[in-house]
Structure 1
Amino acid sequence: MKKNNLVTKSNDLIEMPLKMSVVELRIIYVLISIISPEDQEFQRYRFKISEFAKLAGVKNKNIYAQVKEYTLNLMSHPFYINENLQVNWLASAEYFPNEGIIEVEFSPKLKPYLLQLKEKFTSFRLNDILKLKSAYSMRIYELLKQYEKLGQRTLKVQRLKELLGIEDQYPVYSDFKKRVITKAQQEINKSTDIEFSYVERKNGRKVDEIVFTIKTKAKQNVTILPATEAVSSVQTHTAHRLSDRLKKEFGLTTITIQTILKAYEKDYITEILDIVKIDVLSGRVHDIPAYTVAALKNDYRKKKTELDMELERQHTLKLEKEQKSQLQQQYYATVAEKLNQYIIAMSEEQLNIEVQAMLHSVADKDIEIIITDVRDPQLMSGGYFRQYLNKKYFSDYTFDVFMLDITTA
């Protein structure tokens, strides 16, 4: 059991609401990382309790009792796969104290979500997620990792809370942002293979959804070996890496992989796998192993130019969309600043006149205005007052006018 093992889960499993502790999540990630891509049935997975406890972050001196408590929780706290199916993570956990061994088995109902995954799944390195210290950070990491190739994911605030198992907590958005999102951003950006930024979208004055932008970090540099040692090491590493990739990403059997590595140059295999991966992401592939073998046999590199053009077009559209979103946020901030400066410059007499005019305009609506609150943009009355002033005095300052201002500045 190594930290560079992959954790592979179906996207349906990632999208299920879960309320689990940091240690419980770590245990599950460690257990999933032991599953072999070739397993057709769940095995009874055996490993050393001390090593398991270390990876899962169990630091209590009595690690046997502590691990037992957590595995019991994982067998007695079911969650919903769908509205008709409740399931526990573990079917059994057996301890062998004299050997220092634990043997666990997943619940059989989890087979479609963890075994023989050919499509609609997400993989990430165990080492990356074990670096995270918050359960919320772990869940947000896998929710974003799932959309890494697309580069963006939009989630309703309430839906995100449900997925994290905290739908009834943090009623004030600023608390949720501070304790969950900002903390996750700091941990994920610092410790994992991805980083994210986000933009808040409002419905009225309330933040309704969050647009996450996800970026893959550049690969870390490796130590340079002496020339003769480096050549041997690179060749061996490349073969192992290709073998691992063919097995875990493309679902090929060991015999098929050995045949492929003998029949084709490694650079050619890598080129073909990159093309197959693009086709898989586009949703055009249903049988990944068969498609991969056909792509190698028939040299699908001829499709590369067309695919590259499409990817470039999609990348350009994505950049344009991101730029427009950033400019819109800048526009809203500019309007808000203009309103704030306008209100600050008002005398009390002018303020009272405007407030009375606003009260008259909303007299037929069920809106309560507290006059002493209208200067504060964070309060409801202050929000209504700014909407009123914006419509009355700044309606001509449209997004197009804003764009003209910044392009001619």
Structure 2
Amino acid sequence: MQVLDIQQYNKAVTKSNALIEANYKLSTLEQKIILYLISQIHKDDDDFKMYRLPIQEFSEMLGYRGSPKYTELREITKNLMRKVLEIREGQKLKQLSWVSYVEYDERSGFVSLSFDPRLKPYLLQLKREFTTYRLKNVMELKSSYSIRMYELLKRWQYMKEVEIALDDLRMMVGAADKYHQYHNFKKRVLTPAQQEILEKTDIWFKYQEVRKKRKVMALRFYIQEKSTIDQVVVPIEEKTENNAADQYLKFLAVLQAYDRYITEKQFTKIALLAQKVFGENWLDEMIKTTREILQRGDIREPIAFLTYLLNEKLERVRIGSDHNEVVVNKKVRVVRGEAVPDWLEDYQKKLAESSQTRDTDEEDIEQIRRELEERLKKYKD
């Protein structure tokens, strides 16, 4: 039974990687409540708000029929307020609660919850070391272990494979005190999670046991995105908001691997250029080109360089030439008989320095970006 309205169902859940790898144990329902609330956080929020959950939907999530049973619901939120998570940062071990306040309003039909303020660094204004995925991918999972496994695999999806020590894995999926025998852990956690994630989410995985003297010490996971061979790609202007957002999240995951970030607005501008250059397979080609740029250690502003590169390619397309004549190269910035102009390098350096200066506000940085875009446009014209 689909409980959530489709608009909320397609919202994104964004968590810091430290929170994904934290030590905590929540029931399946408790995890879904937390993730539902996280999906209501806006990427520009600088403080927590009271996040609302419809009481009727809350009741249906429990399998109750008819009028909401407030006694049972209140008991669930009381238990949730007592749940503790542990986050290790270097030599520090932090113990926090998920929720600090709950308020029921029977007249409006909502229960409002507030996150513990100390969770702000792990849920708000995230620019580095975070993972994003669609809420719908976890709301249909039946096992709490499947939810934790899915989040952990999404955190490493950009690497396509990761090796995790067995004891660490038990802790990260909330089974630190259970299934001490590997065969039980495999039967109760790994196998059901593998099947559920395959059937109900956007990824699938297989794994290899890493043994030492016959004993399984770690697991190496191989993570793949579901096949999209039959998917018809249409221009971004004609896509629905949710599909466009999925494209943004896929591209953002690539940047995250290199501690980079891009806004949805910036992505849309670059995506339109990529469509004109690459056509139907624009997203895959844009990701491939971006990876090549990110692997270059001498490019300070990869997004600015990508914009420049796509404009150069588009110019070749417009005059009937092959855009592949313009490529990323180790020796020169762009292979086209010329290098990137000196002013572009100066602006990249200026922008990078401004981004790292505490007394430079976002308006100053945005002004530099606008100036850079104008210079790119003039250079192209």
Greater shift, 42-51 or 136-145, is seen at 42-51
Using a 3 Å threshold, how does the CA distance of structure 1 residues 291 and 166 change in structure 2: closer, same or farther? same
CA distance in 1, matches of 2:22, 2:294: 22
Residues 1:19 and 2:25 are matched in the alignment: yes
Structure with a larger share of its residues in helix: 1
Partner of 1:278: 291
Q: TM-score, normalized by length of structure 2?
A: 0.65
What stretches of structure 1 of length at least 5 have no aligned partner?
225-229, 307-409
Partner of 2:239: 237
What's the offset of the Cα at 1:118?
Answer: 1.4
What's the offset of the Cα at 1:165?
Answer: 2.8
Partner of 1:65: 71
Kindly name which structure, 1 or 2, has the bigger radius of gyration based on alpha carbons: 1
What's the offset of the Cα at 1:12?
Answer: 0.9
Using a 3 Å threshold, how does the CA distance of structure 1 residues 262 and 30 change in structure 2: closer, same or farther? closer
Partner of 1:29: 35
Partner of 2:178: 169
Q: CA RMSD in A?
A: 3.6
What stretches of structure 2 of length at least 5 have no aligned partner?
1-6, 253-260, 314-325, 331-381
Greater shift, 19-28 or 243-252, is seen at 243-252
Partner of 1:149: helix, strand, or coil?
A: helix
What's the offset of the Cα at 1:216?
Answer: 1.0
Using a 3 Å threshold, how does the CA distance of structure 1 residues 155 and 261 change in structure 2: closer, same or farther? closer
Percent of pairs identical after alignment? 32
Greater shift, 274-283 or 27-36, is seen at 274-283
What's the offset of the Cα at 1:81?
Answer: 2.3
Residues 1:91 and 2:97 are matched in the alignment: no
Confirm or deny: 8 A CA contact 1:96 1:102 kept in the other structure: yes
Partner of 2:159: helix, strand, or coil?
A: coil
Deviation per residue, 1:200-248 (Å, 9 max, x gap): 12111211111111111113856x8xxxxx98x9633177755776599
What's the offset of the Cα at 1:253?
Answer: 7.0
Paired residue type of 1:296: T
Confirm or deny: 8 A CA contact 1:75 1:89 kept in the other structure: yes
Partner of 2:204: helix, strand, or coil?
A: strand
What's the offset of the Cα at 1:77?
Answer: 1.8
Using a 3 Å threshold, how does the CA distance of structure 1 residues 152 and 125 change in structure 2: closer, same or farther? same
CA distance in 2, matches of 1:36, 1:294: 28
Deviation per residue, 1:117-162 (Å, 9 max, x gap): 1121111111111121111111111111111121111111111112
Partner of 2:341: none
Partner of 2:55: 49
Partner of 2:187: 178
CA distance in 2, matches of 1:280, 1:163: 33
- Superposition pairs for residues 171-250 of structure 1, below 5 Å? 171-219=180-228, 221=230, 235-237=237-239, 241-242=243-244, 249=252, 250=261
Confirm or deny: 8 A CA contact 1:273 1:292 kept in the other structure: no
CA distance in 1, matches of 2:19, 2:190: 21
Deviation per residue, 1:54-85 (Å, 9 max, x gap): 4xx32124354333333222222222223442
CA distance in 2, matches of 1:267, 1:60: 52
Q: 1:140 aligns with which of 129, 135, 149?
A: 149
Q: How many residues align?
A: 293
CA distance in 1, matches of 2:28, 2:329: 45
Residues 1:9 and 2:15 are matched in the alignment: yes
Using a 3 Å threshold, how does the CA distance of structure 1 residues 68 and 281 change in structure 2: closer, same or farther? farther
Q: 1:126 aligns with which of 135, 160, 168?
A: 135
Deviation per residue, 1:163-201 (Å, 9 max, x gap): 223223222211111111111111111211111111112
Partner of 1:295: 306
Confirm or deny: 8 A CA contact 2:293 2:306 kept in the other structure: no
